[in-house]
Amino acid sequence: MSNSVLSLTGVRKVFNQGGRKLEVLRGADLTIQRGEMVALVGPSGAGKSTLLQICGLLEGADGGEISIDGNLSSGLGERQRTALRGRTIGFVYQYHHLLPEFSALENIVIPQLIADRPRGVARQRAEALLRQVGLEDRAGHRPGQLSGGEQQRVAMARALANGPALLLADEPTGNLDPGTGDRVFEVLTTLVREEGLAALIATHNYDLAARMDRTLSLQDGRILEG
C-alpha cells in the first residue's frame, strides 16, 4: 500500500477575472507521505490558498487528479466529497473561525458530534487535545476570552478532533506576533508529530518553513521542490 496521504498530478485551475482568464495552477504536482510536514511557500498571489482549497476538496480543479489517503477525488459526487473531506482532512486558517458562543471544549466536541461520535468519547478526545495544546485550564472559556495564540491552539485542536490523516494550514501563525507565532507553531509541530499526520502548511515565514521536513515552492502555476 502506498504511504502517500496527498497526491496531486497535473492540477490546473483557471479563474475568470472580468473576462480575463487567470491560470493560477498550470500542472501542479505534489506527493506528501504519512508523517511528513511540508511547507508551501511562494509569492503573494501565487495561488497557495487556492492550492490548499483544492487539496481540501473545497474548490474544484479544472484538470488533473487529486488523491487523498488513497481515494481519487475525481468522479465523486458532492456528498461523497464532503464525507471524504470530513473523514480525512483537518483545516487551520490564519483566523481561528471558532464558534464564538461555545467554549473551547465545545468547539472541539461539536465537529465530533457532527461525525456521529458519542458525546462521552468526543468529550474525552477534546479534553486530551486541550491538554496536548496546553489549554486544559481554559476548557470553559469562550474564544473571546482567549488570547490570539490560545484561540489558534484551540483551532488546531479542533482541526484534529476527528483524527484526520492530513492537516492543511493556511498561514496558521500569520495573525500572531512573531513570539506567539513561534510558540503556536511549536505546538502545531508537536501535535502533527504525535498524531503521525501529513501536513501541508502555507507560510510566508521562511524560518518556519526551514523547521519543516521539506519545502515546496509555488511559482508560475507549478510546484518546485525546495
Ligand X SMILES: Nc1ncnc2c1ncn2[C@@H]1O[C@H](COP(=O)(O)OP(=O)(O)OP(=O)(O)O)[C@@H](O)[C@H]1O
Interacting residue ranges for ligand X, rule: CB under 6 A: 15, 17, 22, 24, 42, 44-50
Work out how close the CB of 29 gets to ligand X at its nearest, in angstroms, rounded to a whole number: 17
Three-state secondary structure readout of 10-53: EEEEEEEECCEEEEEEEEEEEEEECCCEEEEECCCCCCHHHHHH
Integer Cα distance of 216 and 209 in angstroms: 9
Work out how close the CB of 24 gets to ligand X at its nearest, in angstroms, rounded to a whole number: 5
Q: Cell numbers at residue 126, please?
A: 477534546
Work out how close the CB of 178 gets to ligand X at its nearest, in angstroms, rounded to a whole number: 18
Nearer to ligand X, 143 or 172 (CB): 172
Nearer to ligand X, 17 or 75 (CB): 17
Nearer to ligand X, 49 or 189 (CB): 49
Nearer to ligand X, 133 or 167 (CB): 167
Work out how close the CB of 76 gets to ligand X at its nearest, in angstroms, rounded to a whole number: 21
| Cα-Cα end-to-end distance for the chain | 27
Work out how close the CB of 45 gets to ligand X at its nearest, in angstroms, rounded to a whole number: 4
Nearer to ligand X, 2 or 219 (CB): 219
Nearer to ligand X, 44 or 75 (CB): 44
Question: Going along the chain, which residue ranges are E strands?
Answer: 4-17, 20-33, 37-41, 63-68, 71-72, 89-92, 166-170, 198-202, 214-219, 222-225
Work out how close the CB of 203 gets to ligand X at its nearest, in angstroms, rounded to a whole number: 9
Work out how close the CB of 99 gets to ligand X at its nearest, in angstroms, rounded to a whole number: 24
Measuring CA to CA, which residue among 39, 29, 25, 22 is closest to residue 6?
29
DSSP state of 176: S
Q: Cell numbers at residue 152, please?
A: 489558534
Determine contact, residues 2/68, Cβ cutoff 8 Å: no
Nearer to ligand X, 48 or 158 (CB): 48
Measuring CA to CA, which residue among 115, 108, 49 is closest to residue 84?
115
